[in-house]
Chain A
Amino acid sequence: MSELVIEAGRTEGQYWRDLWRYRELFFFFAWRDMLVRYKQTVVGISWSLIRPLLTMTVLTIVFGKFGKMPSGGVPYPLLVFCGMLPWLFFSTALMESGNSLVTNANMIAKVYFPRLTITVSSVMTSLVDFLISSVFLAALMFWYRVTPPIAVLVLPFFVLLMVASSLGVGLWIAALMVEYRDFRFIVPFIVQFGLYISPVGFQSGVVPEKYRLIYALNPMVGIIDGFRWCLLGAVGGVYWPEIAISVIDVTFLLISGIWYFRRTERTFADVI
């Protein structure tokens, strides 16, 4: 029989063992969120198609038609959709995970389980939407007769990068939200601005060369460019330093996110 020792600040090893023991909770929380998400909606899961479709249309009209942005020889809707795929994942994951602890406050105050499960599974839930949109993208590519280049094999890497960046930022915001509900207002802001400062509706090639590296500090820049490169070929070419910066960014965000989350987790129940 294993002995459990509870002492101030002495839970690290125990925690990761618990996380493994409670691994099914990741699945259960994600399952719950999926079940609940489209309850009492008329079109249900179709929302995860309607949203990107409408956004794509608007962005194509604004940037492609009115803005006359270069498309790099790719149908503009396709260019936009490729950028939107990771962006929409990032923004939904951010909103869901940011609120995840606060909406489950009651549980946190009454039961023990590694709190990481809640936030991580809320990011996982957003993956479902992502997969549905991906199928739509495949259809769209088929329609435009665009064959993905061999680089498509690297796509899983960018998907991983995308998940990691959402998780990193999500963990920060979820933990901060516990004490500072201000983030409830900050997150929609990030999402709103992010759409315009990330190359979703346009190619990052339109950004002047000398600002590219600074621009790349936004981790989504490298991720979106990566997606386009994998799916549409070298539209405007891929700028490798940019991807490298993204990787560094995301690694830092994820590690610091886990660190901060763990650091504050022990007081969640007292503060929330």
Chain B
Amino acid sequence: MNLVASTRDSENAIVIENVGKRYSIGRRRNADDGLRHAIEEAIRSPFKWLRQRGEGNRRDADFWALRDVSLSIKPGEVVGIVGRNGAGKSTLLKLLSRITEPTEGRIRINGRIASLLEVGTGFHQELTGRENIFLNGAILGMSRAEIVQKFDEIVAFSEVEEFLDTPVKRYSSGMYVRLAFAVAAHLEPEILIVDEVLAVGDAAFQAKCLGKMSEVAQGGRTILFVSHNMDAVRRLCHRAILFEEGKIRVDGEVDSVLEQYFARISTGTFRELPSGYGLAVEKVALKNEQGQEARQFSPGDDLTVEISYNAHSRIELPYFLVIVEGAHGKCFTASMLLDGMRPDALEGPGKISCTFKAIPLLPQSYSISVSIRDKIHQSEIWTCKDATTFTVRADLQKYGYKGDYLTHAPRSTSVVIPYVWELPDGETIPVGLTAPETVST
């Protein structure tokens, strides 16, 4: 490594050199085992134990969430980071934000950095809006003087003036998010790191946030932006970096990177760090009635969603949720939270699948979201929005459709449950997407 050149490099705002982050997997979730083991070790060889503790050395299997990542970002650049869940985006942001340390490599940052990985971190439910502005500001790294100075501006942006002295637990979720974003938006760092914060809030608010961010960007600030909202990435960024399996796959002009991202998104396989529960979901596959993997279906087909997992530690009575989502929102859900049909336990590698019978979907594109939750608290063990995608294709005329506006089908609501028209002359006409041959014309 060229030490002379790397000691001072004011050309770049951020320089990342061969950075890697390793996590140990198969962590013992069971605290008793952990402590008992630790005590045994500590008694056997106390000094070795203490030395090892801090370094996080473990005999468990290792997982590199990020490896050999090198890149540099110039001041004033607005860079979008894209990639699927588990590709290493969030890990990178955590390293840049100093929430966790890299296992290897080096990151150099020139300028005051602020990161916004979540809106409203540190908000306390019992405190009022006013109190939370101060608290949150301080946690994000603002001094008291700075907060006082920007207080009015923050309040104006958040539009919650009249509730300033109400505990935030009485806020609507919209108000809560607005206030939280308002604080963060007034950080004024030289380098801003933003993760998926626009996923919350209503459309008007999202537009406002985006506006604020492009304002910040035009002010010459450096921004790193992670989002699943591709429109936002396209609007805001000039450069994008696609992460895959902990490595940089493509780095370049935003449109071409996004194009390649879309081409890759639909494979449905994961290489992901097991969640704290020791569960790794390896694949979310879609299968047709013949049991073959498919990405294209017809209305009325059976759609099987097969989740392959590997449970490094035993997980009892988990809840699975499979959600089918279209361009206009959620279509339908298979939820063990409601039906209660849970597996006794997940242990080792295995599969669980869910078949939606005779999908009543119009020809559009859809995505599948999967969520696995804990037996008691319903907290998320593993969750993936847009785990995989599929399209429904059909010649609607074969299903008896004969309207003049059939080309509008992609814009219609997605689900069609069978219905029957009864006309003034007494004629009854059933319509549906499930069984084309029975529809009379």
Residues of A near any B CB (own CB < 8 A): 1, 3-9, 11, 22, 24-25, 28, 31-32, 35-36, 39-40, 104, 106-113, 179-182, 260, 263-264, 266-267, 269-270
Q: Which residues of B contact A108 (CB under 8 A)?
A: 99
Give 6 pairs: A residue, B residue, CB < 8 Å, sorted on A: A3-B8, A28-B134, A32-B127, A35-B127, A36-B127, A269-B99
Given contacts A11-B101, A28-B135, A106-B121, is CB(A113)–CB(B31) below 8 Å?
A: no
Q: Which residues of A contact B121 (CB under 8 A)?
A: 106-107, 110-111
Instruction: Tell whether B108 is near chain A: CB-to-CB under 8 Å.
Output: yes
Q: Are A270 and B138 in contact (CB under 8 A)?
A: no
Interface string of B99-112 (1 = CB under 8 A from A): 11111111111110
Give the contacts of B39-80 with A (CB-CB under 8 A).
50, 53-54, 56
Given contacts A1-B110, A24-B144, is CB(A269)–CB(B100) below 8 Å?
A: yes
Q: Which residues of B contact A104 (CB under 8 A)?
A: 122
Q: Are A32 and B99 in contact (CB under 8 A)?
A: no
Q: Are B108 and A3 in contact (CB under 8 A)?
A: yes
Q: Which residues of B contact A3 (CB under 8 A)?
A: 8, 108-110
B90-98, B220-228, B246-254, B402-410: which lies at the interface? B90-98
**Distance from A134 Cβ to chain B, minimum over Cβ atoms (Å):** 27
Q: Are B98 and A112 in contact (CB under 8 A)?
A: yes
Question: Nearest B residue to A5 by beta-carbon distance?
Answer: B108
**Distance from B134 Cβ to chain A, minimum over Cβ atoms (Å):** 7
CA of A223 to CA of B10, assembled, Å:
54
Q: Which one of B101, B122, B134 contacts A9 once the chains associate, using CB atoms below 8 Å? A: B101
Given contacts A39-B126, A110-B121, A267-B100, is CB(A179)–CB(B107) below 8 Å?
A: no
Q: Which residues of A contact B32 (CB under 8 A)?
A: 182
Q: Which one of A6, A8, A179 contacts B98 once the chains associate, using CB atoms below 8 Å? A: A6
**Distance from A262 Cβ to chain B, minimum over Cβ atoms (Å):** 8
Question: Nearest B residue to A9 by beta-carbon distance?
Answer: B101
Q: Are A5 and B135 in contact (CB under 8 A)?
A: no
Q: Are B99 and A111 in contact (CB under 8 A)?
A: yes
Question: Nearest A residue to B128 by beta-carbon distance?
Answer: A35
CA of A107 to CA of B35, assembled, Å:
25
Q: Are A267 and B56 in contact (CB under 8 A)?
A: yes
Q: Which one of B35, B104, B115, B143 contacts A8 once the chains associate, using CB atoms below 8 Å? A: B104
